[in-house]
Amino acid sequence: MTRGGQFALAGGIIVAIAAGVFAFSVGSRGDLGLVELGSTAPDFKAYALDAANTPRTLRSYKGKTVLLNVWATWCEPCKVEMPSMEKLHRLFGDKGLTVVAVSIDAPGKEKDVAAYAKKNGYTFEIVHDPDGEIQRIYQTTGVPESFVISPDGKILRKVIGAEDWVSGGNRALFAKLLGVPLPDTTAFSDSGRKPDTLRGTFQRTAPIPGTNPDGAAPAKP
């Protein structure tokens, strides 16, 4: 075989391998498109921590602004983040916000997840996905990972890592999304953690209309 033929053969093999990898990647996600800002949030299935293991899906929260969080009891950053999620729930839970934390703890760990929630006094909704299928559906890279979802099912914000959900910017964001006044937080004590230990990585294509790039409402002149 000539040198030119060898190069052609090698190139053909590389193209075939690349095509196979791409096909496998697409196939492994089924019919899911990319989960990104502005896309429709895909449905998922998890189970409530009640005696009946009542199924929950994204449709269960239709018409609500949803903070969807993927976490696990063994995840240390999750433990840092969740107190601020409880505070956010107390601030906005009666104003149209639903906080849903989906545990990806292993099958059979339902009692452990429920005990963890009870021990820490969490009152927002915690559900269990024993197969961790939500990780594939939402194409997460680890835990914690969170998604802010609009009432019409669009992804408004994606956060990778632990986040302080009651920071000034986040409180202003949710007040804006829900159309309510900025709530008073004087009843909440300082968590004692440095802000840097709570900050996540915001990923979005454009600022929420009417807010500054950090999500805060613009200052009045």
What is the residue whose two structure tokens read 């994204």?
Answer: 58
In contact, 114 and 47? CB cutoff 8 Å: no
| Structure confidence at residue 167 (pLDDT) | 96
Angle, to 10 degrees, between the axis of helix 76-92 and the axis of helix 168-178?
Answer: 40
- As a whole number, mean pLDDT of residues 105-112 equals 97
pLDDT averaged over every residue in the chain: 81
For 128, counting Cβ atoms within 10 Å of its Cβ (0-12 exposed, 13-18 middle, 19+ buried), the class is buried
Tens of pLDDT, residues 71-100 = 999 999 999 999 999 999 999 999 999 999
- As a whole number, mean pLDDT of residues 207-215 equals 43
- DSSP H/E element including 101: strand 97-103
| Structure confidence at residue 21 (pLDDT) | 36
Tens of pLDDT, residues 166-194 = 999 999 999 999 999 998 877 665 443 43
In contact, 145 and 44? CB cutoff 8 Å: no
Per-residue burial over 72-94, b if 16 or more Cβ lie within 10 Å, else e, is beebebbbbbbbbbbbbbbbbee
Which residues, other chains included, contact 1 with Cβ-Cβ below 8 Å and sequence gap of 6+? 9
Tens of pLDDT, residues 1-16 = 565 555 454 455 443 4
- As a whole number, mean pLDDT of residues 123-134 equals 98
Q: How large a percentage of the chain has pLDDT more than 70? A: 70
